[in-house]
Amino acid sequence: MKYRNSCRETNWHVENPTSAIASRLEPHFNATRPVQTKNPYISPKQLDKRWQVINCEKARHELFDDKAQHDMYRYQKNIENYIGTVKLPVGLVGPLRVNGLHANNDFYLPLATTEAALVASYNRGAQLITESGGASAMLISEAVMRTPGFCFQSLAEAGQFVAWVSTQHDVFRDIANQTTNHGELQSVGVNMDANNVYLVFEFTTGDASGQNMVTIATNAVFNYILEHSPITPQYAYVEANLSGDKKATAQSLRNVRGKKVSVEVVVPKELVKKRLHTSVDAMVNYCRLSATGGVISGSIGVHGHYANGLAALYIACGQDAACVAESAVGITRLEHSANGDLYAAVTLPNLMVGTVGGGTGLPSQSACLDILGLNGAGNAKALAEVTAGLCLAGELSIIGALSAGHFSRAHHKLARHNKPS
């Protein structure tokens, strides 16, 4: 039997009657396309098997070139069912001057993106900050959470469980800390919802972003709880969706997930006019209007476009790109300074960044961290402060463009009429 052609174009609104539409939406059990090898690991044999299934030489030539073949074993712990690599253009932003507790330098930042005008916008903001003497940045706090959940038969059982948990904090800490040389369990909180109990484990994770680290540590404690708890739960799970992992939450806006950083700059009114072609009044008024718009829309936090810079930096530097979902939560403020200059500040409570582990050791991503000068142990806190500075640069640039009426013009010029020189 032949497999169905999943790429076939359909115009069922016009051509197919109701019965045919219903038929297309029903489960089908005819033969599928060839099944790929079940072995998820990287080897020349497994690569050949996967490309035989795909049967697309054009794609193989592009994705599995000599470099992808040469480096393939370096990806062994970062991906399954490997078939090659995707190339993204990388643009350079900077210098961005950051005057931080941990980052204190002029930085060049590599951004990987396919969106025209993005790098140019962030670069404009970075140069404006640098010309204004740099951005002051402070890492305020850091923690990564895992939140196991337990369901009991009654509120009374849940209360007895919580009473026992309160006597076990030192035990939990010892068990968790034995699983890692870099992380540390800092606190254990409790959230009860009738017969449901959520434990909130907060960790520091050193120079790693830390999601895998805290999962392994929490799982060790979780197993201890199931074995030793005097009250047996009806069911329990190592993560019960209270941590804010991979999602924007009001809880994370109030507290911290990853690294919380505030960054500020005072831009002289003359520079606002010279570099952004607008005024301090116009930018403050826009920020006031857009803050109300954000509240009306139900936005968690208020800002312009953190996700643009974060996604591009995360991809370039081997961060978990899915963490942009929580990292792109925060507050941007623009105000008049005492002498009429522009005070601009950004607070980001959920920067999930690291300089070791994850994808940071891969060839291209390690090279991008080298450009930043923040590769390896001892640099994660500095990376968080620089990342916040990048977001501030993006906010100044986009708000400046909107205030000056240049937002659409910049996208039209760079995306549609870019001519090589």
Q: Are both 156 and 300 inside the same structural domain?
A: no
Let me know whether 165 and 105 are in one domain. no
Beta bridge partners of 187: 202
Q: Which one from 142, 157, 202, 320 is the annotated catalytic residue?
A: 320
Is 48 annotated as catalytic? Answer: no
Q: What is the pLDDT of residues 150-179, one digit of tens each?
A: 999 999 999 999 999 999 999 999 999 999
The Cα 47–Cα 25 span in angstroms is 34
Whether 21 maps to a domain, the answer reads no
Contact 114, 175 (CB under 8 A): no
Percent of the chain whose pLDDT exceeds 90: 88
Single-letter amino acid, residue 151: C
Instruction: Based on the residue annotation, tell me whether 411 is a catalytic residue of this protein.
Output: yes
Kindly report, residue by residue over 24-71, the tens digit of the pLDDT: 899 989 999 999 999 999 999 999 999 999 999 999 999 999 999 999
The string of pLDDT tens digits covering residues 236-252 is: 999 999 999 999 999 88
For residues 292 and 163, membership in a common domain is answered with: no
Selecting among 182, 336, 406, 411, the annotated active-site residue is: 411
Residue 249 covered by a domain: no
Number of domains the chain contains:
3
Q: Are residues 109 and 71 in the same domain?
A: no
Does residue 252 contact residue 349 with C-beta atoms inside 8 Å? Answer: yes
CATH at residue 171: 3.30.70.420
Residue 320 a catalytic site member: yes
Q: Which domain holds residue 337?
A: 90-142+254-416
* pLDDT at residue 363 tops 80: yes
Question: What's the mean pLDDT when you consider all of the chain?
Answer: 93
Q: Is the pLDDT of residue 409 over 90?
A: no
| Shared domain check, 291 and 272 | yes
Asked whether residue 269 is assigned to any structural domain, the reply reads yes
**What's the pLDDT tens digit per position in 71-104?**
999 999 999 999 999 999 999 999 999 999 999 9
Residue 29 in any domain: the answer is no
Whether 3 is in a domain gets the answer no
Of 183, 202, 237, the domain-final residue: 237
pLDDT for residue 15 is more than 70: no
Residue of 115, 131, 239, 281 with catalytic role: 115
Residue 263: which CATH number?
A: 3.90.770.10
Q: Is residue 246 part of a domain?
A: no
Domain match, 82 and 130 both: no
> Does residue 191 share a domain with residue 165?
yes
Whether 5 shows a pLDDT value over 50: the answer reads no
pLDDT tens-place string over residues 297-332: 999 999 999 999 999 999 999 999 999 999 999 999
Check: CB of residue 166 under 8 Å from CB of residue 134: no
- Could you give the CA distance from residue 54 to residue 51 in angstroms, rounded to a whole number? 5
Domain shared by 155 and 95, yes or no:
no
The answer to whether residues 96 and 186 belong to one domain is no
Can you tell me the mean pLDDT for 186-192?
Answer: 97
Return the pLDDT at 413.
65
Q: Mean pLDDT across the stretch 228-235?
A: 98
Let me know whether 282 and 408 are in one domain.
yes
404 is a domain residue: yes
d(CA 120, CA 196): 50
Q: Are residues 133 and 50 in the same domain?
A: no
For residues 75 and 49, give the distance between their C-alpha atoms in angstroms, rounded to a whole number: 18
Q: 398 and 315, same structural domain?
A: yes
Q: Is residue 64 part of a domain?
A: yes
